[in-house]
Amino acid sequence: MEANRMNLLKKIMMTRGMGQVITVGSGLIVLCIVFGMINPNFYSSANITNLLRQIAPILLIGISQSYVLITGNIDLSIGSVVGMSTMISATFMSRGYMSPIPAMLVTLLLCLLIGVTNGYLVAKCKLPPFIATLGTMTIARGIAQIVNNNYNTDSIMKFFPEEAQAFKDFFYYGKTAGLYNTIWIAIVLWFVFNFFLSKTRTGRHIYAVGSNIEAARLSGVNIVFTTIKAYVVSAFCACIVGFITCATVGQGTMDAGTGYEMYAVAASVIGGVSTLGGQGILLGTVIGASVWGVLQNGLQFAGAPVAIRNIVVGIIVVTSVLVDIVVRSGRRRKKSVLTKN
């Protein structure tokens, strides 16, 4: 029995990216202790609940970016897809064109189209992911602005009050088993996408493409299809965050999702997902999103202005990426030396 436990522990520790998760997780615990000492209200049940609800959408866009980063690419359109999702769904509901469910389905299809476009441009057309997703970022933001004639929408409660209230309760205000539904949505989607990434052939292909794209191609991996799937997951999660944003405010705002691509990168790289591709686990994304949330919440309790909070998060992101590059470069040099010997 003891031997089995040791083997299980060894297997867990050998999981790629687990070392970074443990390190950052330890840092998260230290942050919680420090902020609790600065202000005991940090540990209040009300604050913990609200903190989890704040972390949930960041976790979802972190999952978006993690899938794409693991393939060795990046998605800069996440924030604009959030805004596009918010504005399209809110416009349909506030103008009485559609009730929430049809509005959500149409919005989801349009957002997934952005994901397919991103994957096709990057994998098939060979556009650099930075340029491709910068373009779709601008397009999606333009759609968010033009869909309601460059105005924020009216209340979504106007034409379908009961259905709209159910929509708001499902995505933000309602609770199940004592937790806000936003938290449950993030938990369920994390389990689903973690399963796909860690237990399926699609997940193995995503890691393979990010680790060595030529080796993956020679092994029979469909590079284009795999890359498209990663970007579709990204667009799906961003769309869900758009619904959460719409439910939170009760209307569509054209600036919804602004800056979320930065939050997505932060949640991913802080949690150990490599910007160079082929490495990282979604458990790390949970830790990364939690670090972001705790920093924002804790610094607010400490009385730090928004500018200081942003500077701190930015420094942590740059440091995380720098450490990843240094570690990966060291491993390559070590392998090169061993190969020569």
Give the pLDDT score at 7.
60
- The tens digit of pLDDT for each residue in 97-111 reads 999 999 999 999 999
**CB half-sphere exposure, 292, CA atoms < 13 A:** 30
SS3 43: helix
Instruction: Please tell me the pTM assigned to this model.
Output: 0.91
Give the pLDDT score at 3.
59
**Do 268 and 292 contact (CB within 8 A), yes or no?**
no
Axis crossing angle, helix 78-94 with helix 129-146, rounded to the nearest 10:
20
Give the pLDDT score at 189.
97
Identify the structural domains of the chain with CATH numbers, from first to last.
40-324 (1.10.3470)
Return per-residue pLDDT of the chain as tens, 341 residues: 565 555 655 555 556 667 778 888 888 899 899 989 988 888 898 899 999 999 999 999 999 999 999 999 999 999 999 999 999 999 999 999 999 999 999 999 999 999 999 999 999 999 999 999 999 999 999 999 999 999 999 999 999 999 999 999 999 999 999 899 999 999 999 999 999 999 999 999 999 999 999 999 999 999 999 999 999 999 999 999 999 999 999 999 999 999 899 899 989 988 889 888 888 899 999 999 999 999 888 888 888 888 887 888 788 778 877 776 776 666 556 555 555 55
Beta-bridged to residue 180, according to DSSP, are 175
Give the pLDDT score at 173.
93
Give the pLDDT score at 25.
87
76 secondary structure, DSSP code = S
Give, rounded to a whole angstrom, the gap between the first and last alpha carbons of the chain. 40
Angle at 277 between CA 271 and CA 280, to 5 degrees: 30
Quickly tell me which residue has 């604009």 as its tokens.
Answer: 80
Which regions of the chain does DSSP assign to beta strands (E)? 175-176, 179-180
Give the pLDDT score at 332.
57
Positive or negative, the CA dihedral 289, 76, 78, 70 is: negative
Give the pLDDT score at 24.
84
- The tens digit of pLDDT for each residue in 137-184 reads 999 999 999 999 999 999 999 999 999 999 999 999 999 998 999 999
